A and B are shown apart, each in its own frame.
Chain A
Amino acid sequence: MSPPLSLRRLVALCRKESLQILRDPSSLLISVALPLVMLVIFGYGLNLDSSRIRVGLVMQDDGGDARGFASQLDGSPYLDVVIGSQIEMTRQLVDGKIRGMVVMASDFSHRGIGPGSEAPFQVITDGAEPNTANFVENYVEGAWRTWQRQRAADHGHASPQAIEVEARFWFNPSAKSRNYLIPGSITIIMTVIGALLTSLVVAREWERGTMEALLATPMRRSEFLLCKILPYYALGITSLLVCVGAAIFVLHVPFRGSLAALLLMGSAFLFSTLGMGLLISTLTRNQFNAAQAALNAAFMPALMLSGFIYELRSMPPFVQAVTRLIPARYFVTSMQALFQAGDVWSVLGSDLVRLTLAAVFFLGLTAQKTRRRLD
């Protein structure tokens, strides 16, 4: 059965839906205020670049070398050094107030740094924060290397031969995590907004009894579905543009792609996430359950499994397989590319195909589950 679509009915339904959106302060709250608040929280709250990590220093020796190395550590732009006793520092480490400590042996200056010997100090990190622990290790090691070379030069020794590494971050020369976390966050925000907007709309029609009256009119299934998508699509695109605008002009994240590509990718993604919300709403027909399902299906998976913070390739194969089912994953890479690299079609193209597939899947399933009858 493929009934012709009546433009008049469609327009009337869309107008009704839009009026409801405009009258309900909460939908505007969700689509404009919430994204901005979320963007601020993501933009400032989610920062993986440890600008200055607090590290404790336990000096059991106050010889010249020990003090020399201590000032080297203190001078590191990445470390914020506090000096204290081993007991005090241990307590702070347990408390999470410092993320690592350097314990200088009492014979630090004596031992010197003769060839082949072990370093006369120990680095202890807070393993409960593995990412930061890695950084502590790298930064202390860097400081140690620099100090060693300097000391060798000061004493006229030959410094050990070294391969110099010249690292360059493309697209993001200062390696700010913000620059890729914010485009990723916009994805999470849009997932949540899309699912939140639509997850309650069909359930609401059922709970308020308007569904039965609508079903008894000549309205076609396609018209009903479209009226549940188009206005929310417009709202979603608006919040996408608000987010991107705020990211560029307020948070100063560079944007290198084109508006056309952004709209194209954004549309494909929105259809998939709106579709997911509609499916939840259609299946549950009850707001209490729809709300819980949407929260569980949208926010946490998008946060954890989209590859926006956590590296997809590091996940075990079965988890990677699961991430392939999450549309947000593909929009994350598109957004990161659009923001930092530009219209890289080798990335965008395959993402576009997958997002479209996801949209077709969710909307198709919703259409299949939408009945014109009550039994």
Chain B
Amino acid sequence: MGVAELSPAMASGAIAQLRNIQKTFGKGEKPALAELTADVFGGRITGLVGPDGAGKTTLIRLLAGLMAPSSGTITVDGSDPIADADRVRSIVGYMPQKFGLYEDLTVAENLDLYADLRNVTGQYRKETFHRLLQFTDLAQFTGRPAGKLSGGMKQKLGLACTLLGKPKVLLLDEASVGVDPISRRELWRMVQALVSEGMAVLWSTSYLDEAELCADVLLLNEGRLLFNGPPKELTDRVKDRCRLVRGIGGSRRQVLARALRLPEVLDGVIQGSNIRLLLRNAAREPSPADLNAGPEAQWTSGPPRFEDGFIDILGGGPGGHSVLAEHLPVVPHAGEVVIEARELTRKFGSFTAADHVHFQVRGGEIFGLLGPNGAGKSTTFKMMCGLLVPTSGLATVMGIDLKQSASEARQKIGYMAQKFSLYGSLTVGQNLQFFAGIYGLNGARKREAIEQMIAVFSFGPLIQTKADELPLGFKQRLALACAVMHEPPLLFLDEPTSGVDPVTRREFWTHINGAVEKGVTVMVTTHFMDEAEYCDRIGLVYRGKLIATGTPDALKKMAARPGLEEPTMEDAFIELVGRHPD
């Protein structure tokens, strides 16, 4: 596969080799990794992708020598990570999912600590610090405690700490989760600069647009390696199978749902006002009429993406039918304003986190709040659902100020937090019982609601499992179940799919789309631009201000300029934020 493309210098061999690796945790449990053989080469970025629980983190920990394989051999630059731990640790840089920065230490102190731990001294240390601070753009923040940095800056500092001592192998575990598109691009540029110096990088990610840019990709599923090679190879498998449906009349959500019901369609997503479909291999071309997408609908073929290949190899998306939405009652609405922010302002000391934010959301709409880390979208979101009191201005939900109102108003909303705030030590069943209970469901209604959720999300076999022990995807499902069990007409979703894999994300949006079709209104924050495409309207927040609002297509149009005629959502985001005067 990839070996043919190697330059002679690299052809001498892989820096890290995994041979027949098996890793089992408990006795009798399914192996976390099985029969895995792979190589990581110097001078390029190897992407590591796969659904949740595929074994990505385990693989990285094995390479870092933090776990021993149950069988098989691993070598990193010729050494065994367990037997020769001291050597391997001095040549491997590892950035865990939640990088351990000491939040009470300053940027410089964090760097000093890791420099000393990695024996970086003297003149060389000075130079490295200088280079890394420039590189990460952190030079002006050296005296700031790490805890006070924004999410993106934290990741950059984490990377800088990992890079001290010039590791030969760099292992990055979901380095870009929860990071806004701008910081994500910067991180990527930094890592690419390192690769050109010959470093081997293993980059695990749930952003498939990142994986698409890697030289090689390892795709894991349930502990097995499904694909190993350049991403283009995978993308090529779905060449000619992508279709774009433009000019849709009527609800694009309903059109998507219908499309996904067609036997020929393997996968589909909403892209602004359009729909993007992936056809099955050798499938008959469906006719636009099957979609009932209105007379204007056009059917064009589109460029394949790595994500399509990913979905294809995993056997397709979750389908377009939401059993959940089927059970939800219809929420009658006449397009009236249900959520409104009026000159919403919040100050923390002298810092203004939200500055006269003003918007309206109508019934049956999906409204997305986007913005870089620390721009104030969380603050705004929290004020909307009554968790934070505005310094001035008004946040109303269905005409009621949530902060003032009695519990009846809060009965009408469902809330899902970033970290899927479930009770980790309670079982799935106990969590459902609890949330049903505090929302006042009882007797037969409660029993029915819980049974429904169990059926909709197939919690059956997991009912006795503690929420902490669930795979991430199931945690997310459970969090959604707990938020909608009382059939709220309004949903508040705060980064609801952070860190979940693309398949689970699709399933989630199928449910949300279904619910919206029933009349539910949704307010959502996200860092995933493909998620932003699902929104009817988007509010872009930057430095506490709402700098743009409109449909995804309107924002893209706003961002378009010579040289950027057809911006993606991500381009639009970066462009619009960049245009804002500092």
Task: Name A's B-contacting residues (CB within 8 A).
Answer: 3, 6, 8-9, 11-13, 15-16, 19-20, 23-24, 205, 208-219, 372-375
Contacts and interface: CB of A to CB of B under 8 A. Distances in A.
Given A211-B100, A373-B65, A218 B89 contact: yes
B66 A374 contact: yes
B118 to A, nearest CB: 6
Contacts of B104: 19-20, 23-24
Given A12-B112, A217-B118, A374-B61, A3 B94 contact: no
Given A209-B100, A218-B89, A373-B68, 6 more contacts: A12-B117, A16-B109, A212-B94, A216-B92, A218-B86, A375-B66
A209 B98 contact: yes
B117 A219 contact: yes
B121 A8 contact: yes
Contacts of B31: none
A16 B66 contact: no
The 9 tightest CB contacts between A and B, nearest first, are A210-B100, A12-B116, A213-B100, A216-B94, A209-B98, A212-B96, A217-B117, A375-B67, A23-B104
Contacts of A214: 100, 117
A202 to B, nearest CB: 13
Contacts of A208: 100, 103
A334 to B, nearest CB: 36
A19 B99 contact: no
B88 to A, nearest CB: 9
A374 B67 contact: yes
Contacts of A13: 113, 116-117
Most buried by A among B89, B90, B98, B117: B117
Most buried by B among A13, A19, A23, A218: A218
A207 to B, nearest CB: 10
Contacts of A23: 104-105, 145
B49 interface: no
B194 interface: no
15 contacts: A9-B117, A9-B119, A12-B115, A15-B112, A23-B105, A208-B103, A210-B100, A210-B101, A214-B100, A216-B64, A216-B66, A218-B86, A373-B68, A374-B61, A375-B66
Contacts of B113: 12-13, 15-16
A11 B116 contact: yes
A212 B58 CA distance: 13
A212 B100 CA distance: 7
Contact of A216 (B96, B112, B115): B96
Contacts of B118: 217-218
Nearest to A24: B104
B68 to A, nearest CB: 6
A15 B66 CA distance: 25
A218 B25 contact: no
B166 to A, nearest CB: 13
A23 B109 CA distance: 13
Contacts of A209: 96-100
A221 to B, nearest CB: 11
A219 B90 CA distance: 9
Interface residues of B, number: 40
Contacts of B92: 216
B105 A20 contact: yes
Contacts of B135: none
B86 A373 contact: no
Given A6-B119, A8-B121, A218-B86, A16 B105 contact: yes
Contacts of B90: 218
A276 B230 CA distance: 53
B95 interface: yes
Contacts of A19: 104-105, 109
Contacts of B96: 209, 212-213, 216
Nearest to A212: B96
Given A16-B105, A216-B96, A373-B67, A8 B85 contact: no
Contact of A217 (B25, B89, B105, B158): B89
B120 to A, nearest CB: 10
B553 to A, nearest CB: 40
B359 interface: no
Contacts of B103: 208
Contacts of A216: 64-66, 89, 92-94, 96
B74 to A, nearest CB: 13
Interface in B39-83: 61, 64-68, 82
A222 B428 CA distance: 41
Interface string B127-166: 0000000000000000001000000000000100110000
Contacts of B98: 209
B459 interface: no
A24 B67 CA distance: 33
Given A373-B67, A373-B68, A375-B67, A213 B99 contact: yes
Contacts of B188: none
Contacts of A16: 102, 105, 109, 113
Contacts of A373: 65-68, 82
A13 to B, nearest CB: 7
A355 to B, nearest CB: 33
Most buried by A among B65, B90, B113, B121: B113
B114 interface: yes
Given A209-B96, A211-B100, A375 B25 contact: yes
A20 B116 contact: no
A268 to B, nearest CB: 30
Interface string B170-204: 00000000000000000000000000000000000
Contact of B66 (A205, A210, A212, A218): A212
A9 B61 CA distance: 23
Contacts of B66: 212, 215-216, 373-375
Contacts of A8: 116, 119, 121
Nearest to A4: B86
A8 B112 CA distance: 11
Contacts of A210: 100-102
